[in-house]
Amino acid sequence: MITLSNEPNREEVYWTKALEQSKIAVAKNSLTPLKTKIIKVYPCKYGNFELRCITSEKPFHLIKKSKINNPFLPWDKDLEVSHVNRNHTLILNKYPVQIGHMLLITNTWAPQNGWLNIHDWEAIEIVDKDTSGLWFFNSCPQAGASQPHRHIQLLRRHYSEIICPRNNWFMNYSTNEKLLNRKLYNSAIVLKKDSLDDSNSLYKKYLKAAEMIGLGNPNNNLEPLKPYNLIITKDWIALIRRSSDGLNGFSINALGFAGYLLATSVSKISWLDDYGPEYLLQELVDPYK
């Protein structure tokens, strides 16, 4: 049964289509949902970390090793949710941990490690006006990206849900500098976002944030100077500068900084218990100050 948002002015057409297409794709064996369970919650001052493990049969290490050089060109039509505009299409994540996990991909080749452009932000705005949630982007393999073709990811959230476990960390970024982990604080930039922001203003904030953490700008640099993660919510936009993608069996993308961790058979959970998730993250970032 499809449940629509009660938030005013949101029909959630994309979300409805994503759920419907998920059923079709599962029936055709084109989509393989991954069952997970929370095995531990690590409480921190400004938000928890959820550690999950996969309980389904599909080994996680195989997900990143696609036999197709570029699965988005062309994309699997069984996974197609909707065309967004002439430049972008919404498709389903082939191995979702959350049903309805969507990817906003470019219809023609655009590099994941290149600059997001105004057309990308226009497509985000179109989708977000209808179906909103936790948007995230991994700029390259060192930031957790698994494919080189540009894709921006969306995990739908009901408007009354907490957007992610570490939401308070980002909400308190500018006011509680002395209380936050210094290395993590000095590797991120968080800018406020509100309902008045359109694609143009968000694009400008993205460029501003990129310059503030030393990624450069598209006028002077062909691509960002460092790996990074981008997270977008209704309240804030954040960039995190990265040094590497994983440590001790934990592979971390933008979701790790949002508070979602995934353990595999090679993850050293006892090490995580000893040192904590914030220590894990601080070993994977690249402070700019």
Q: What does residue 159 show for φ and ψ, rounded to 5 degrees?
A: -60, -20
* Residue 209 belongs to some domain of the structure: yes
Return the pLDDT at 176: 76
Return the pLDDT at 26: 97
* Residue 2 belongs to some domain of the structure: no
* Residue 1 belongs to some domain of the structure: no
Pick the range with the lowest mean pLDDT from 51-60, 133-142, 215-224.
51-60
Q: Is the peptide bond before 43 cis (omega within 30 degrees of 0)?
A: no
* Residue 288 belongs to some domain of the structure: no
Q: How far is CA 188 from CA 151, 177, 215, 283, in A?
A: 21, 12, 11, 14
* Residue 110 belongs to some domain of the structure: yes
* Token couple for 68: 């197709």
Pick the range with the lowest mean pLDDT from 2-6, 65-69, 98-102, 273-277.
2-6
Mean pLDDT of the residues in the chain? 93
CATH of the domain at 199: 3.30.428.70
* Residue 8 belongs to some domain of the structure: no
Q: CA-to-CA distance for 94 and 101, rounded, in angstroms?
A: 9
Residue 70 amino acid letter: N
Q: Do the beta carbons of residue 252 and residue 228 sit within 8 Å?
A: no
Q: Which of left, alpha, beta for 248 (phi over 0: left; psi -120 to 50: alpha)?
A: left
Each residue's pLDDT tens digit, 221-255:
999 999 999 999 999 999 999 999 999 999 999 99
Among residues 1, 71, 85, the alpha carbon closest in space to that of 31 is found at 71
Each residue's pLDDT tens digit, 151-206:
999 999 998 899 999 999 999 998 877 777 899 999 999 999 988 999 999 999 99
Q: CA-to-CA distance for 216 and 115, rounded, in angstroms?
A: 10
Whether 3 shows a pLDDT value over 50: the answer reads: no
Residue 266 amino acid letter: V
Q: CA-to-CA distance for 209 and 114, rounded, in angstroms?
A: 16
Range of the domain at 33: 13-282
Each residue's pLDDT tens digit, 67-101:
568 999 999 999 999 999 999 999 999 999 999 99
* Residue 220 belongs to some domain of the structure: yes
* Residue 3 belongs to some domain of the structure: no
Residue 165 amino acid letter: P
Domain count, the chain: 1
